Structure 1
C-alpha cells in the first residue's frame, strides 16, 4: 500500500503543470499539515517521500545505511506498520542515514516521524556533506511510546551529495524513524505557491445586487469601491521621537501602518525607571493617544521580560521571592488596568523560552500565573508569548518550535485547571523573526509556522528585522512575503533600527536625507501598496441588477452606489473578511 502511495504522488507531480508564457512550470502543491501532538501512529509520508528512496520502509532497510558506528533494524508496530530503529549508538550522529543529491538554490521541505526507546530527547536532522559541512534542518522533542513529527527544511547553498542523519546527544536511547520525506522546490515554484496562497487567503470574491425600494432589479447602477483599511495588519515599532519630531510623526502616518508596538516605552524599566514606586506613564500615555487619534492599533509590549538584564535598575536580582511576588502583582495592576480595553495584544512575559528570571524566583508556573492574572484584569487583548529564533535559527534549541508549543500548552492547561476547566485563555503566538545577515532558511521558517499553526492560535511576526549585510533589502522582502503568504499568520510588525540612533542596522528612513526612505523602507512601502488598493474600483450592474464578480483584497471599503437615470445614491461601509466562499452584497438604492 505504501509503495502505491509513493507511485501515485510521483504520477501526480508529473501531471500537475501550470503554463506561464508558453513555459511549463511544474506546480508542486505545498503540504501545510503538521501536528504538535505525540501520536500512536505516524501520519502518511508527505509528498510520497519526495527524493527519499524507500521512505516508508516497505522494503526494510533497502536504500538506507548506518552513519557511524551502530546498527539499524527493521521493526513493526502493533498495527503492522514498518519503521527503522537505530541501535547500539556511540556518537550523537550515529544511526539511520541516506545519501541524497541537493542542488544549490533549491528549497527542501523535510518531514519525518520520530520515537525513542525511553524518556524524552531532542532529535535534530542534519544534512552532512563529505567535506564535513552540514545543513541543519530542524528539531523535535521525541518521546517513548508515541510518534512525534519533525518538520523542517533547508535552503541548499551548494550542489552535491549529503548524508541525511538524525542526531541526539543521548547515545543510550534507540532512535526510531518512519515516513521520511525530502521534497525539493525551485525558487520559482516557492514564489508561485506564495502567490497562489495569497490569492486564496488574503483576497475574496465579491458580487453585488442592486435593487430599488420595491426590490426591483436596477440596471446600470454605478458601484465605486474605495479601500480605506487593509485587512492584513502591517505595522512598525514606534519610539518616543514620535512626540517631538514632526517629520517622524508625519512619516509614520503617511506610511499607513495600521498597528504598532512601543520599543521601550511600556516596559517596566521605562515606566518605573530609577526609583521603586515612582511611576511615570507620561510618554506612553501620549504615544497611545497619538495612535488612537490616527486609528493605529497598539500591541502592548511588554508587561514583564524574563531576561534578568532587562529589569528595572532598582530591582535587586537577589530579591526575596515573596517581595518579588508583591512587586509583580503591583506592576500587573498598574500597567494592565491603566491601558485596559485600549490594546489589541499584550506580550505578557517576553522571551520566556530563552530566559527564566521569574520562574527561577517564583517557581515553574510563574509565567502561567502571570498570564492568568493578566486575563483576569483585562479580557480584551490577546495574550502573546514572544520569543526569537523559533523560525529564524534551526539550531537554537532553547526556542525551537517543539519547546514553544510545550510552554504554550503549559500556560493554557494551567489556566484551565485554575478555572476548573471552564475557560480558555485567548493566547497568541508571537514570533519575533529577527534574522541574522545572510540567506534566511525559508523552508525551515515555513515549517516552523506550520508546526505552531496546528495549535489553532493566531500567529504574528512581532519584531521583523534583517541584520545589515549583503542583499538585506531582498531578504527582508522575502521574509515579509513568506509571512504574508502563510495562512496562519494574522499580522506583521517591523522592528527597524530607530532612525535617530547612531548605528543604523535596518533603518526605514534616513533623517540626514530629509527622511527619505532607504532600500529597506522601499520594501515596506511596496508591501503596503500590495495590501491596500490606492485606486477606486468601478463596476456596473446588468439587467438583473447584478454586478460582475470581483476579487477584492481583505479590508474595509467605502462603497458608493449611484443610478444616473433615477438620480439615486446610496453609501455604505463594507468589511471584506477571510472566507473561502464568495461574498454577496445586496444594496437597496435610496431615491432622492
Structure 2
C-alpha cells in the first residue's frame, strides 16, 4: 500500500556520501527487508519484484533515503535497471560511487503492465557493488500526481490589529508569477503576429542563439532585448560560453593557450558588460560535463574562473551550470546528478567563488518518452545544492503521446519544490522549430500550444468567491505572482484594495 504522505519522495538534505546507510521506509516497499540488504556483492544479482499496471516505482524515501550503494574497492559509475513485465529494460538511475562510503541512488521507472519484474545494478568498474537499504515503492498514477507539491499562497486580513474573519475577497492576478517562459528567435522582430502571440503568453524569454559567441554582432540581441523590455519580459542571458568543441568557431579552435585565454577574456568582457543589469540569469558555460573544450585548453578550473569573471562584471544575475540528460536520460553517465553536484561544488570552492549566486539549469530536456520517477528522483538529488533549479529547455519529440508527455513533464517540474522556473525550448521558425512548435505559421496554437495555455490558465485560476476563515486567513493553490486583492466586510465602510506580492514569497498580510 502506497503512503499518502508526500514526504515519501523527498525532504531534508541529501548527502552524497555517508559512512552508514539509512534504513528503508515501509520495510522496503515491495522489496522485503531480507532482500534489501546485502553484505555480499550484488552485481549480476536480480531482485524479483511484483509490478502493477500503470504504476510509477520510486527508488526513494524520506530523510531515511534508500538504495545505498558502494564499491568493495575503487570508484566508478553504477546504474540501476528495472525490467518491467513486458520485458522492457529501463535505466532507473545512476550515481558515482566509491569504496569509502555509501552513496544514495534515487530514481525509478514506470510499469504499464502487471506481472513479475526485476531490479538489478550494473557497472563497468572492476569493484564489486555492495548494496544496503534498497526500497522500491509503487504508486498508482493518481497517487503519484497527488504527491506533487502544491504552490500554495496565504493571505491574512486584519482590521484594527485583529483578524478579520469571513471577509469577502476578490483576488485578481496582475503580473509575473511562477516563471513559465519560452525561447524566441530574431524573427519576432519583423513579424507582428509572432510578437503578439509570444508577448500575450510569456513574461520570461531566452534568445535561442543571438547572444552566443558564434553569432556575429549584437544587433539582433539588442533589438530583441528592447522588445522584451517594452513588454515587461525578463530575459535569461544565454550563453557566455559553450564547452562543445564542435560549436567553436574555426579560428577559436586553432588558438594556443595564451591566445585562447585572451580571446575568452575579450568575449566575456564584451557580452557580459553589454547586458549587465539587463538579464536575470547567465548561462555561464554550456554542457561542461559532456564536453571540456575550455578545460582541455585552459586547465581544469577554466569553468570556475569564467564564473568568477562573469560575477565581477554582473553581480546580480543568478549564474547557471547548464547540462542535458541530467534528469531525462539515466543511461547517459556523463551528467548524472551526483556528477553535476560534484562539478558545481568544484566551481563553488574555487578561490573567490564562495559567495556567488548559483543556479542549476537547462537539463536540455528534449524528452522522447519521459521517465517521470527518474525525473523526480534526479530533481530531489540536485535540490541538495540548495540553489534555484530551472528547467530551461523543455520540449518533447513528436509522437502520438507528445501532448500527454509535455503536460506530464511540466506538471512534474511545477510540482517540485526545488524548481523555480520552466522555460520551453519551442522558439518559432518559419522553416520549422528545433524539436517542438507551439504554433503553426499562422500563429494558431498547435495541440502542445494549447497545453501551455491551459496550464497557464489553471495555475493562475483563483477559487470562486474566496473568503477568509475564522482566523482571517485565505489559503489556496495559486500561481505565484502579484495580485490585486479587494476586501469587503460589513465592518468596513468601503472595500479595501491592495496589491500584494506573492511572487517572491508565499504569504502576505493585508491591513484594513
Is the TM-score greater than 0.5?
yes
Aligned to 1:39: 18
Q: Shift of residue 560 of structure 1?
A: 4.0
Q: Structure 1 residues 540, 205: CA separation in 2 closer, same or farther (over 3 Å shift)? A: closer
Q: Structure 1 residues 565, 51: CA separation in 2 closer, same or farther (over 3 Å shift)? A: closer
Check the 8 A contact 1:266/1:300 in 2, yes or no.
Answer: yes
Q: Shift of residue 203 of structure 1?
A: 1.6
Check the 8 A contact 1:499/1:510 in 2, yes or no.
Answer: no
Q: Secondary structure at the residue paired with 1:226?
A: strand
Q: Shift of residue 586 of structure 1?
A: 1.4
The reply on whether 1:526 has 2:454 as its aligned counterpart is: yes
Q: Residues 69-117 of structure 1, C-alpha deviation per residue, up to 9 Å, x if partnerless?
A: xxxxxxxxxxxxx742218xxxxx53x4321122342111014101112
Q: Shift of residue 204 of structure 1?
A: 1.6
Q: Shift of residue 254 of structure 1?
A: 1.3
Aligned to 1:181: 135
Work out which of the residue numbers 176, 187, 192 in structure 1 matches 2:146.
192
Check the 8 A contact 1:203/1:578 in 2, yes or no.
Answer: no
Q: Output the CA distance in 1 between the equivalents of 2:86 and 2:284.
A: 46
Q: Equivalent residues in 2 for 1:245-394 (5 A)?
A: 245-255=191-201, 257-270=202-215, 273=216, 280-312=217-249, 314-394=250-330
Q: Output the CA distance in 1 between the equivalents of 2:152 and 2:115.
A: 40
Aligned to 1:73: none
Check the 8 A contact 1:432/1:461 in 2, yes or no.
Answer: yes
Q: Output the CA distance in 1 between the equivalents of 2:499 and 2:418.
A: 27
Q: Shift of residue 166 of structure 1?
A: 1.6
Check the 8 A contact 2:157/2:509 in 1, yes or no.
Answer: yes
The reply on whether 1:501 has 2:419 as its aligned counterpart is: no
Q: Shift of residue 221 of structure 1?
A: 7.6
Q: Secondary structure at the residue paired with 1:327?
A: helix
Q: Output the CA distance in 1 between the equivalents of 2:358 and 2:103.
A: 23
Aligned to 2:366: 435
Aligned to 2:404: 474
State the aligned residue count: 504
Q: Secondary structure at the residue paired with 1:330?
A: helix
Check the 8 A contact 1:105/1:157 in 2, yes or no.
Answer: yes
Q: Residues 158-213 of structure 1, C-alpha deviation per residue, up to 9 Å, x if partnerless?
A: 43323321211123x1221110000011111111222xx21xxx1222121235xx
The reply on whether 1:210 has 2:156 as its aligned counterpart is: no
Aligned to 1:70: none
Q: Structure 1 residues 539, 485: CA separation in 2 closer, same or farther (over 3 Å shift)? A: closer
Q: Output the CA distance in 2 between the equivalents of 1:219 and 1:281.
A: 56
Aligned to 2:356: 425
Work out which of the residue numbers 461, 475, 483 in structure 1 matches 2:391.
461
Q: Output the CA distance in 2 between the equivalents of 1:495 and 1:35.
A: 30
Q: Residues 384-438 of structure 1, C-alpha deviation per residue, up to 9 Å, x if partnerless?
A: 0111111111100111111111111111111xxx13x8x422110014352343x
Q: Shift of residue 548 of structure 1?
A: 5.7
Check the 8 A contact 1:499/1:509 in 2, yes or no.
Answer: no
Aligned to 1:150: 105
Q: Secondary structure at the residue paired with 2:291?
A: coil
Q: Structure 1 residues 130, 318: CA separation in 2 closer, same or farther (over 3 Å shift)? A: same
Aligned to 1:574: 500
Q: Structure 1 residues 101, 344: CA separation in 2 closer, same or farther (over 3 Å shift)? A: same
Aligned to 2:62: none
Q: Shift of residue 302 of structure 1?
A: 0.2
Q: Structure 1 residues 126, 565: CA separation in 2 closer, same or farther (over 3 Å shift)? A: closer
Q: Output the CA distance in 2 between the equivalents of 1:161 and 1:382.
A: 47
Q: Structure 1 residues 536, 85: CA separation in 2 closer, same or farther (over 3 Å shift)? A: closer
Q: Shift of residue 218 of structure 1?
A: 8.9
Q: Secondary structure at the residue paired with 1:249?
A: helix
Check the 8 A contact 1:104/1:158 in 2, yes or no.
Answer: yes
Check the 8 A contact 1:466/1:506 in 2, yes or no.
Answer: yes
Aligned to 1:48: 27
Q: Shift of residue 342 of structure 1?
A: 1.3
Aligned to 1:123: 78
Aligned to 2:51: 102
Q: Secondary structure at the residue paired with 2:19?
A: coil
Work out which of the residue numbers 393, 403, 416 in structure 2 matches 1:486.
416
TM norm structure 2: 0.90
CA RMSD of aligned residues (A): 2.9
Check the 8 A contact 1:36/1:405 in 2, yes or no.
Answer: no
Q: Output the CA distance in 1 between the equivalents of 2:508 and 2:464.
A: 16
The 10-residue stretch of structure 1 (155-164 or 100-109) with the greater mean CA deviation from structure 2: 155-164
Q: Residues 128-178 of structure 1, C-alpha deviation per residue, up to 9 Å, x if partnerless?
A: 47997522111111112111001110112443323321211123x122111
Q: Output the CA distance in 2 between the equivalents of 1:288 and 1:324.
A: 29
Q: Secondary structure at the residue paired with 2:46?
A: strand
Q: Output the CA distance in 2 between the equivalents of 1:291 and 1:578.
A: 21
The 10-residue stretch of structure 1 (351-360 or 484-493) with the greater mean CA deviation from structure 2: 351-360
Q: Shift of residue 322 of structure 1?
A: 0.7
Q: Shift of residue 572 of structure 1?
A: 2.8
Q: Output the CA distance in 2 between the equivalents of 1:218 and 1:39.
A: 50
The reply on whether 1:557 has 2:489 as its aligned counterpart is: no
Q: Output the CA distance in 1 between the equivalents of 2:95 and 2:300.
A: 22
Q: Output the CA distance in 2 between the equivalents of 1:145 and 1:548.
A: 51
Q: Shift of residue 549 of structure 1?
A: 2.6
Q: Output the CA distance in 1 between the equivalents of 2:490 and 2:113.
A: 64
Q: Residues 504-556 of structure 1, C-alpha deviation per residue, up to 9 Å, x if partnerless?
A: 74111111xx31100000000011112223x79766789x9x85634262221
Q: Output the CA distance in 2 between the equivalents of 1:517 and 1:53.
A: 49
The reply on whether 1:452 has 2:397 as its aligned counterpart is: no
Aligned to 1:22: none
Q: Output the CA distance in 2 between the equivalents of 1:541 and 1:139.
A: 47
Q: Shift of residue 283 of structure 1?
A: 1.2
Q: Residues 343-377 of structure 1, C-alpha deviation per residue, up to 9 Å, x if partnerless?
A: 11100001111111111111111111101111111
Q: Output the CA distance in 2 between the equivalents of 1:83 and 1:504.
A: 47
Aligned to 1:67: none
Q: Shift of residue 124 of structure 1?
A: 1.1
